[in-house]
């Protein structure tokens, strides 16, 4: 008989709507606390560390893109076991070119790589990709030749 009374009392405790409401509030607060914890732990990277400064200089990117679009071809990128082979447009052969390549990884800014342009007389450059993580990158090439700025972006996948 005592055992039956204990079971009835336990059922009465959980059958009370006030207790159910408290359990729902505790579960909701626990879920929200977990979500806040997860959001705080997720890294948030801007496109660049100097985002606002770069945004003010974006007109240079627009002008460089217009100049690059006037060239006969785009930058051709080919990957093989030795690395990446870049072929610049024929107009860039036998020219003095200054610039850089940014391999921008959207997923993680720690994977970004910056390479100085060092084209040969045929407008080519080889890049060793052993230090690169496999994944999707955006190749952002900016260079200057004969007083004109050029800018080009190409999506690439490194295996």
**What token pair was written down for 71?**
């060239």
Q: d(Cα 147, Cα 141) in Å, to the nearest integer?
A: 16
Nearest to 89 by CA among 157, 148, 129, 138: 148
Least confident segment among 4-13, 32-41, 42-51, 75-84: 4-13
Whether 1 shows a pLDDT value over 80: the answer reads: no
Tell whether the torsion through CA atoms of 69, 70, 73 and 77 is positive or negative. negative
78 pLDDT band (50/70/90 cuts)?
very high
Given this model, what pLDDT does residue 103 score?
A: 95
- Strand-pair partners of 79: 84
Whether 8 shows a pLDDT value over 60: the answer reads: no
Given this model, what pLDDT does residue 113 score?
A: 93
119 in Cβ contact with 113 (< 8 Å): no
**Per-domain residue ranges for the chain?**
2-41, 51-158
Given this model, what pLDDT does residue 11 score?
A: 63
Given this model, what pLDDT does residue 4 score?
A: 58
Mean pLDDT for 73-99 is 91
Mean pLDDT for 135-145 is 94
Q: Give the single-character DSSP code of 133.
A: P
User: What kind of fold does domain 51-158 have according to CATH?
Assistant: Immunoglobulin-like (2.60.40)
Given this model, what pLDDT does residue 44 score?
A: 74
Whether 10 shows a pLDDT value over 80: the answer reads: no
70: phi then psi, degrees, rounded to nearest 5: -80, -15
88: phi then psi, degrees, rounded to nearest 5: -85, 165
Whether 87 shows a pLDDT value over 80: the answer reads: yes
103 in Cβ contact with 137 (< 8 Å): yes
20-35: pLDDT as tens digits: 889 999 999 999 999 9
């Amino acid at each position: 008989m005592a055992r039956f009374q204990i079971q009835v009392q336990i059922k009465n405790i959980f059958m009370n709507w006030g207790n159910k409401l408290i359990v729902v509030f505790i579960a909701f607060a626990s879920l929200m606390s977990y979500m806040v914890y997860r959001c705080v732990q997720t890294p948030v990277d801007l496109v660049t560390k100097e985002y606002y400064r770069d945004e003010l200089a974006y007109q240079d990117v627009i002008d460089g893109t217009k100049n690059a679009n006037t060239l006969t071809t785009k930058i051709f990128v080919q990957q093989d076991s030795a690395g990446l082979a870049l072929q610049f447009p024929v107009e860039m052969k036998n020219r003095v070119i200054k610039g850089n390549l940014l391999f921008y990884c959207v997923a993680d800014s720690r994977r970004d790589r910056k390479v100085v342009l060092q084209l040969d007389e045929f407008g080519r450059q080889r890049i060793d990709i052993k230090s690169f993580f496999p994944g999707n990158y955006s190749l952002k090439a900016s260079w200057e030749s004969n007083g004109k700025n050029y800018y080009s972006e190409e999506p690439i996948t490194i295996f």
